[in-house]
Amino acid sequence: MPPKGADHHDDASAQQRAHRPYHSPGRARAAAGTRGAILDAATRLFVEHGYAGVTVAEIAREAGAAVPTVYASTGGKGAILTILIEEGMQSSASEEALAAVGRSSGPREALAAAARGTRLDNERHHRLVRVMVSAADADEYAAAALARANHAYREALAAVARRLGELDALRPGLTLGRATDILWFYLGHRSWYELVVEQGWPWETTEHWLAEQITAALVPASGTVTGHATDDR
């Protein structure tokens, strides 16, 4: 005969088990694999046909998934592009480059690290960047994602400008804001795309040339007295 209250205890335990979330490692891996296949398929189609020329049904077919599965896993086209952009922004190359800039002992070393880091990011993601730029004109999700990506990009370049300021290595009269603008002009997406994709320059050649340009634009000639840069433009 069970102890008094045992039935009640067993019922309570059963209810707890019934309400406890079920976590299946196998199911989680399958869901992650489906999500990855959808994102890979979307990337291929966006690059090949342009954002506007791709439908969710085509992404599903390319990924070997059902349309409802695409929406449940990643969302619609705008949400998919946003995921791709935000995952691209979480680049280890950017973090490593900023760390190298922070460790730099001189302006040339800092700017070489900045050129290297932006080169690696653009080399990995330049096709997706072009999709993002073209999609931003027609899709609010893409426009918002592009704005966030550009803001993060400029913030990273602003950190480079601040490091030059800390090293007292900016040209006299050059503010941190103006230095950031110059870095954006030379190291932003457009310069890499124009030189590498449009003009056919090798990535390494472009990296070294851009490093030379930003050094000439930002760093004073030897012997020139510098002052502390301000945030004013």
Could you give the CA distance from residue 189 to residue 129 in angstroms, rounded to a whole number? 8
Q: Are residues 30 and 106 in the same domain?
A: no
**233 lies in a domain?**
no
Q: Are residues 135 and 92 in the same domain?
A: yes
Q: Are residues 98 and 213 in the same domain?
A: yes
pLDDT at 68: 95
Q: Are residues 148 and 183 in the same domain?
A: yes
The alpha carbon of residue 162 and the mean position of all alpha carbons in its chain are separated, in whole angstroms, by 21
| H helix runs in 74-226, sequence order | 77-89, 92-103, 107-136, 140-166, 176-187, 189-192, 203-218
pLDDT at 145: 80
**187 lies in a domain?**
yes
Overall domain count for the chain? 2
175 in Cβ contact with 230 (< 8 Å): yes
Could you give the CA distance from residue 42 to residue 119 in angstroms, rounded to a whole number? 24
The whole-model pTM stands at 0.73
pLDDT at 52: 85
**The last residue of a domain, from among 75, 106, 139:** 75
Q: Are residues 128 and 206 in the same domain?
A: yes
Domain residue limits at 127: 87-218
Q: Are residues 127 and 198 in the same domain?
A: yes
C-alpha neighbours within 13 Å on the C-beta side of residue 222: 1
**41 lies in a domain?**
yes
Q: Are residues 144 and 179 in the same domain?
A: yes
Q: Are residues 59 and 123 in the same domain?
A: no
User: Tokens 């049904």 correspond to what residue?
Assistant: 57
Could you give the CA distance from residue 130 to residue 162 in angstroms, rounded to a whole number? 29
Mean pLDDT by 10 residues, the chain (233 residues): 52 52 66 90 90 93 95 90 78 80 95 95 83 80 83 94 96 96 96 93 97 97 54 58
Q: Are residues 112 and 160 in the same domain?
A: yes
**The last residue of a domain, from among 75, 99, 117:** 75
Q: Are residues 71 and 101 in the same domain?
A: no
User: Tokens 């994102």 correspond to what residue?
Assistant: 39
**34 lies in a domain?**
yes
- 155, 161, 165, 169: CA torsion to nearest 10: 170
| H helix runs in 4-55, sequence order | 6-19, 25-49
The alpha carbon of residue 133 and the mean position of all alpha carbons in its chain are separated, in whole angstroms, by 14
